[in-house]
Amino acid sequence: MIDSHCHLDHEPLLSDLSNILKRSKDIGIKKLLTISTSFDSFSKIKDIVNKDEIIYGTVGIHPHECETNTITKNEIIKSLKENPKIIGIGETGLDFYYNNSDKEKQITSFKTHIEAAIECNVPIIVHSRNAEDDTFKILNEYKEDNLKILMHCFTGSKKFSEKLLTLDSYFSASGIITFKNSIELQETFSTLPINRILIETDSPYLAPVPNRGKKNEPSFIDYTAKKLSEIKKISKLELINKTTDNFNRLFF
């Protein structure tokens, strides 16, 4: 089992990392991908990935951070080349939920990350919130460039997922699929090809039922795997094997 998206540099995970890792391994997690959101985040991640063989990381600037964290393509590429355990770019993308005041900066940052991912031939971890049309439009501009796309914590519409499939995208399911009010999202995941699905916690956020409201951690991914196996009408073991294979095919 693999947690394809967590934030081990965020509290309360960082200060309790040894116990977090123990509980992760106890439920069978083989890899953790800890995701960069800012320069400060990445500086911690460079240290965290060396704490244990199961931890890998990414380099990138979250759309909420791009106004104060401007990164260049060369800086991203340099960070990838310097550390073999940095295996992806992101999290990047577009988030217009709160306001559009920094829309152009988000778009510029997103394209910078995409172009670095293409040059390095590594996956890009995409955050998209209230920005389906713009996200697809930008990704589609690079359709001929063999961009490896992972839609993190996917909560988009079925129509959006169908458009993204034309770009050979992967989709990561978070604890949100366990929420009672996520019927439409569950329906969308029921239609997605099993060979395009990963699972994640986005911890310490979005703890799945029955731990909703608590601080999330990678070991809670077991609840998401169980729910997703029910949605896909396969055994949990098969779901775990499929999503693990998908992660390894995408990143390695």
pLDDT tens-digit readout, 91-121:
999 999 886 668 999 999 999 999 999 999 9
Q: Domain spanning 2-251 has what CATH number? A: 3.20.20.140
pLDDT higher than threshold 90 for residue 247: yes
Cβ(243)–Cβ(198) below 8 Å:
yes
Number of helices (H), then strands (E), in the chain: 9, 8
Q: Residue 195 pLDDT > 90, yes or no?
A: yes
Average pLDDT, the chain: 97
pLDDT the model gives residue 100: 61
Tell me the whole-structure pTM to 2 decimals: 0.97
Q: What pLDDT, on a 0 to 100 scale, did the predictor assign at position 99? A: 66
Q: Which residue has the tokens 């800890």?
A: 34
Give percent of the chain above pLDDT 70. Answer: 99
Task: Determine the average pLDDT of the residues in 166-194.
Answer: 98
Cα–Cα distance measured from residue 37 to residue 187, given in angstroms and rounded to the nearest whole number: 30
What is the rounded end-to-end Cα distance, in angstroms, of the chain?
15
Q: Of 205, 210, 206, which Cα lies nearest the Cα of 185?
A: 206
Is pLDDT of 199 > 90? yes
Residues pairing with 181 in the sheet:
none
Rounded to whole angstroms, how far apart are CA atoms 93 and 110? 5
The residue extents of the domains of the chain are 2-251
